[in-house]
Amino acid sequence: MLARVHSAAVLGLQAYGVDVEVDVGGGLPAFAIVGLPDAAVQESKERVRAAIRNAGYEVPPRKITINLAPADVRKEGPAFDLPMAVGILAATAQLNGGHLDGTLLLGELSLDGRIRPVPGLLAIALAARERGQPALIVPERNAAEAALVEGIDVYPASTLAQVIGHLEGSAPIAPLRRPPPPAAEAPAGDVDFGEVRGQAHARRAMEIAAAGGHNVLLVGPPGSGKTMLARRLPTILPPLSWEEAIDVTRIYSVAGLLPGGSGPVRLRPFRSPHHTTSAAAMIGGGAGARPGEITLAHRGVLFLDELPEFHRDVLEALRQPLEDREVTVARAQLTVTFPAAFMLVGAMNPCPCGHHGDDGADCLCSPPQVARYLGRISGPLLDRFDLHVDVPRVSPADLTAPPVGEPSERIRARVCAAREHQRRRFAGTCACNALMTAKQMRRSCRLAEGPRAFLRTAIERLGLSARGYDRLLRVARTIADLEGAAEFGEAHLAEAMQYRVFDRSLRLSG
Ligand SMILES: Nc1ncnc2c1ncn2[C@@H]1O[C@H](COP(=O)(O)OP(=O)(O)OP(=O)(O)O)[C@@H](O)[C@H]1O
Ligand SMILES: [Mg+2]
Ligand SMILES: [Zn+2]
């Protein structure tokens, strides 16, 4: 007898349907899985056998053949355990398979018949809705994630016996209700800008970066608070919208990083991979075509602490995704595209000893050492930072004063207002000043004659490159947006120029 159970798998961030076809026939007792299963799928056999037995049913000593269709995509992992077990029961008439048609099943089985969570359920639920599959039976710990999708019924199950009871109608499982969308304001994180003392210049730079979506490079001696500042950037970014939250949750679900039973991700991601991170871990790909750090940072912040210590090839590999805001990785014969729209924050010391230009300590490095250190970051990568920020040592007076830093919530309100100006100006074509096209830039960065002359002199003095000039205008535009000013003038340009320090120091050292 033949039974067919609907299931699904994930490739990249997209789910596709997989049919688990079970044939039980005459011949010598055997159990074969065909249709490009990987080793993990082959291991299903023992789990499925034991789970069926422990649920009080039997695996008859006959020839069992399971086909995973379509057969041309490799099937990975243990998520087909549950559909295989149900298929065997239906094909041996131990279960009435009448309700299997509109139902999609997924889950790993343990030997005693309990159902374990599997990655990627949000993506699978989205695909199920698209294909008009009305019902999903999923591991209980993944149910909240699947239930984020409207228009399908999600049935949480924790044992094979429960699934059988549900399919037979003897003990139906109640569908999980979709949780209400989150309120517009972001939940409180565990850090806040109010904790940062002094550093008015750097705090302002972070506000500008958040307001315009600009990549920012923090440069300063050890202990000056660079890591502290970077960690607090997500707390002043606009809260995630519902659609963005679903986007981010889908990524974390596929990566298997969503805590069991959790609803959508609510805080903007903050990823801070170590400087020994490999290119595959940073960019994504590898055997399982898994999302990398840049995708885990999608709609949030990617923080590269000790920037010059990263492998050169890892840093260079960031350049393309920074432009495209997505990344395509190859996997066997297939390629998979992951989103990667993140803000990049880099932090570094100004020299190997960390005290170049530091008032509080002497630099021990020779000029060639300093130059070599800075040279580890290529010009093109450096160009992708709109703001270069000097983060000097905190003065003893600031450090001992009561914490008076402005709280994140107030800064975020200004950031949101500035983003609103950009949203209206670009009318849905781009998100923020950092992403303006050349044409949008010509239109929204018009200069009066006064500021233009001022800019000419400044460019000569700073020795700005064409790219540096482009960055300068974008940042000035954001500074004007924070003020609510339609036009921008000398004051905005002058402030923006303060954030090109690296153009100067590179010239001095090189
Ligand atoms: N502006 C500040 N306000 C309050 N605390 C600060 C400030 N700057 C530094 N600190 C304190 O010093 C510690 C070290 O700061 P942080 O790790 O951010 O420095 P860093 O610039 O990243 O140093 P490194 O170059 O060594 O990585 C922080 O955990 C914090 O307690
Ligand atoms: Mg640090
Ligand atoms: Zn030094």
Minimum CA distance residue for ligand 1 atom 13: 223
Ligand 1 and 308: CB distance under 6 A:
no
According to the model, what pLDDT value does residue 180 have? 62
pLDDT at 182: 58
Ligand nearest to the CA of 228: 1
Ligand 1, atom nearest to 394 Cα: 1
- Residues within 5 Å of ion ligand 2 by Cβ? 227
Q: Between 141 and 98, whose confidence is greater?
A: 141
> 477: exposed, middle or buried (C-beta count within 10 Å: 0-12, 13-18, 19+)?
buried
**In angstroms, what CA-CA distances link 19 with 118, 367, 505?**
17, 65, 61
Q: What is the pLDDT of residues 219-239, one digit of tens each?
A: 999 999 999 999 999 999 999
47: helix, strand or coil: helix
User: Which run of H or E residues covers position 265?
Assistant: none
Report the pLDDT averaged over residues 150-154. 91
Q: Is the pLDDT of residue 103 over 80?
A: yes
Nearest-CA residue for ligand 1 atom 24 is 222
Q: Which residues surround ligand 3, an ion (CB under 5 A)?
A: 351, 353, 356, 363, 365
Query: Which pLDDT does position 39 carry in this prediction?
Result: 83
Tell me the average pLDDT of the chain. 89
Instruction: Name the class of domain 2-168.
Output: alpha beta
Please, are residues 194 and 238 in contact by the beta-carbon 8 Å criterion?
no
pLDDT exceeds 90 at position 26:
no
| Residue-level pLDDT at 507 | 45
Span 193-509 CATH architecture: 3-Layer(aba) Sandwich (3.40)
The Å distance, Cα 347 to ligand 2 centre, comes to 7
Which residue from 190, 227, 228 has its CB within 8 A of the most atoms of ligand 1, so it is best to mutate? 228
Provide the percentage of residues in the chain whose pLDDT is more than 70: 95
Ligand 1 within 6 A of CB of 206: no
The count of residues in the chain is 510
pLDDT, tens digit, 9 for 90 and up, residues 170-182: 999 999 977 666 5
Closest-CA residue, ligand 1 atom 11, reads: 225
Structure tokens at 364: 């021990």
Tens digits of per-residue pLDDT, 435-484? 998 888 888 888 888 888 888 888 887 777 777 888 899 999 999 999 99
- Give the helix ranges, DSSP H, for 43-110: 44-54, 81-91
- What is the phi/psi pair of residue 381, to 5°? -70, -45
Contact 13, 251 (CB under 8 A): yes
Residue nearest to atom 29 of ligand 1 (CA): 228
Please tell me if the CB atom of residue 235 comes closer than 6 angstroms to any atom of ligand 1: no
Does residue 66 sit in helix, strand or coil? Answer: strand
Indicate which atom in ligand 1 lies nearest the CA of residue 405. Answer: 3
Task: Give residue limits of the domains in the chain.
Answer: 2-168, 193-509
Q: Does any ligand 1 atom lie closer than 6 A to the CB of residue 228?
A: yes
Q: How confident is the model at residue 510 (pLDDT cuts 50, 70, 90)?
A: very low
**Nearest 5°: phi and psi at 421?**
-60, -45
* Closest ligand 1 atom to 305 CA: 27
Q: Which of 224, 307, 399 to mutate to test the pocket of ligand 1 (most atoms within 8 A of CB)?
A: 224
Please tell me the predicted confidence (pLDDT) of residue 179. 65
For residues 14-24, average pLDDT: 93
Q: What is the pLDDT of residue 185?
A: 55
Q: Which of 124, 155, 126, 125 is nearest to 138 (CA)?
A: 155
The mean pLDDT of 289-296, rounded to a whole number, is 92
- Closest ligand by atom to 396 CA: 1
Residue 101 has pLDDT above 60, yes or no: yes
How far is residue 432's CA from residue 273's CA, in Å, rounded to a whole number? 26
User: 433 CB under 6 A from ligand 1?
Assistant: no
Distance 222 CA to ligand 1 centre (A): 8
Protein residue with its CA nearest to atom 16 in ligand 1: 225
CA-closest residue to ligand 1 atom 25: 222
Residue 261: the pLDDT is: 67
pLDDT tier at 309 (50, 70, 90 boundaries)?
A: very high
Ligand 1 pocket residue status of 225, Cβ below 6 Å: yes
How many angstroms separate the alpha carbon of residue 378 from the centre of ligand 1? 26
Atom of ligand 1 nearest to the CA of 225: 18
Dihedral pair phi/psi, residue 182, rounded to 5°: -70, 155
